[in-house]
Amino acid sequence: MSETVMQIRDLGLEFPTPRTLVDVIRRRPARVVRALNGVSLTLEKGETLGVVGESGCGKSTLARCIVRLYKPQHGGIHYRGEDIFASESKHDRDYNRRVQMMFQDPYSSLNPRMSAGQILEEALRVHGMRPEKEIPARVAELLDLVRLPQDAAAKLPHEFSGGQRQRIAIARALAVEPEVLIADELVSALDVSVQAQVVNLLLTLQEELDLTILFVAHDLRLVRHVSNRVAVIYLGRIVEIGDSETLFASPSHPYSQALLSAAPSLDPDEKGNAIRLEGELPSPLNVPPGCPFHVRCPHATDICRKDVPALRPIEGRGEVACHHAEEVKHHA
C-alpha cells in the first residue's frame, strides 16, 4: 500500500484587491480574488500528480501554498502528519528542504550574478547538506545527475540555453535531497524538442531517487504523459481527480471533457469531435454561485445554479464534482 506524503484539506485562499479611490468614495467594500475555494487532495509517495486548468484557475497558487509562499486562510496542509503552517523554526527549515519548488521561467528564477556552481553550493550550505570540503565534489555530482558538462559550474545563467537553465533549477532542487518536487510549468517556456529532454530527465530522476512530484502544467498531452493521477482545477476548485489514463480516456466532468477535447490533435483527420465551450473563465473576483462551471456548461440545470457540487467518487472513475456526473456521458 502506498503511503501518504502530503495531505491537503479544504484549502482556501483569498487575495484582497486594493480599494480604489472610487471604491472608497462610494463606500464599496474591498473586493477579494478567490484563488482557492476548498481544495483537498493527497500526494502519495513516489507518484506524479498532474494539475491542469486554464490560466487563473489557481493551479500555481496551489503550488505556492504547498511550499509556503502563501499562507491559506482556510484549511491546512499536513506533511507526514505535521501541520506545515504551525511554525516551529527547526521543522520549518527541514520542511523547506524536503519539499522543493521549481519555477516556470528559466530566465528569472536563477540569480544572474551567481554561477551555476555558486547556485548549487548555496543550496548545499544553507541546509548543511555536506561538510565544506565535500561541497565541490557534490556540485560535480549534481551537474552529472542532470547531464550538464562539468565546466558548467563556472558559467553564469545567461550562458545557458533555456533547457540547460531548467536543468540547473532541477539540480538546485535536488541538491538538498528533497522528497517532494513541485514543478510549476517546468517545461512550458521551452521548445518542443528541448521539452522532451527535460521531461525525460525528470522521469529518470524520479525513478532513481523515488521522488514525489506535483506537476503543474497547462499542456494536457504532457501532463497525461508524466502523471499517475491528474486533478482538473476550475476556478479554485478541483472538479475532477483520478487515475491519469482513465481521466484522459474518458473524462467525467463536462469541464474536463471540454478541456481535453480542446487540445488540438496531431492527426489532421481527427477533428469534429471537439466540444466547444461558450464564453470564458469567469473572473475569480466574481465567482458564480452554485457550480462555478454552470455558466459555460452545456448540461447545466437549476440545481447547478444553486448548489455547489461536492467532489464524490464515481464508480469506475475517479472523483467528480458534478451534480449530473452519472448522466453526462463522455463524448470522446
CA angle 99, 105, 110 (to 5 degrees): 70
Q: What is the dihedral of CA 57, 230, 218, 312, to 10 degrees?
A: -30
Length of the chain: 332
- Tell which one of 32, 129, 140, 274 touches another protein (CB under 8 A): 274
Does residue number 2 form part of the binding site for another protein (CB under 8 A)? no
C-alpha cell belonging to residue 263: 487540445
- Stretch near another protein under the rule CB under 8 A, chosen from 102-110, 133-141, 261-269, 285-293: 261-269
Q: Which of 83, 88, 151, 280 binds another protein (CB under 8 A)?
A: 280
Question: Should residue 20 be labelled a site residue for another protein when binding is judged by CB under 8 A?
Answer: no
Residue 60 binds to another protein (criterion: CB under 8 A): no
Q: Which is nearer to another protein, 92 or 207 (CB)?
A: 207
The correct pick among 2, 111, 161, 301 for binding another protein (CB under 8 A) is: 161
Q: Which is nearer to another protein, 163 or 318 (CB)?
A: 163
Query: Are 36 and 61 in contact, with CB atoms under 8 Å apart?
Result: yes
Q: How far is the CB of 210 from another protein (least distance, A)?
A: 14
Chain positions 231 to 250 lying near another protein, rule: CB under 8 A, are: 244-245
Q: Which is nearer to another protein, 135 or 263 (CB)?
A: 263
* Nearest in space to 173 (alpha carbons), one of 97, 117, 59: 97
Q: How far is the CB of 224 from another protein (least distance, A)?
A: 7
Smallest distance from another protein to CB 182, Å: 19
Among 267, 315, 316, 329, contact with another protein (rule: CB under 8 A): 267
CA–CA dist 232, 92 (Å, integer): 30
* Shortest distance, position 216 Cβ to another protein, whole Å: 14
Minimum Å gap between C-beta 222 and another protein is: 6
Q: How far is the CB of 9 from another protein (least distance, A)?
A: 28
Distance between CA atoms of 22 and 28, rounded to whole angstroms?
Answer: 8
Q: How far is the CB of 275 from another protein (least distance, A)?
A: 9
Residue 220 binding another protein, by CB under 8 A: yes
Does 269 sit near another protein (CB under 8 A)?
A: yes
What is the distance between the alpha carbons of residues 264 and 146, in angstroms, rounded to a whole number?
A: 32
Q: Which residues share a beta bridge with 96?
A: none
Is the separation of the CB atoms in 138 and 130 below 8 Å? yes
Angle at 307 (CA atoms; ends 320, 331), nearest 5 degrees: 40
Member of 217, 231, 258, 311 binding another protein (CB under 8 A) = 258
- Euclidean distance between CA atoms 92 and 196, whole angstroms: 34
Contact flag: residue 27 with another protein (CB under 8 A):
no
Helical residues (DSSP H) of the chain, grouped into ranges: 21-25, 59-66, 89-98, 116-126, 135-145, 162-175, 192-209, 220-226, 244-249, 254-262, 302-306
Helix H or strand E encompassing 227: none
Write out the residues near another protein by the rule CB under 8 A.
48, 54-55, 161, 163-164, 191-197, 199-200, 203-204, 218, 220-222, 224-228, 244-245, 258-259, 262-269, 271, 274, 276-277, 280-281
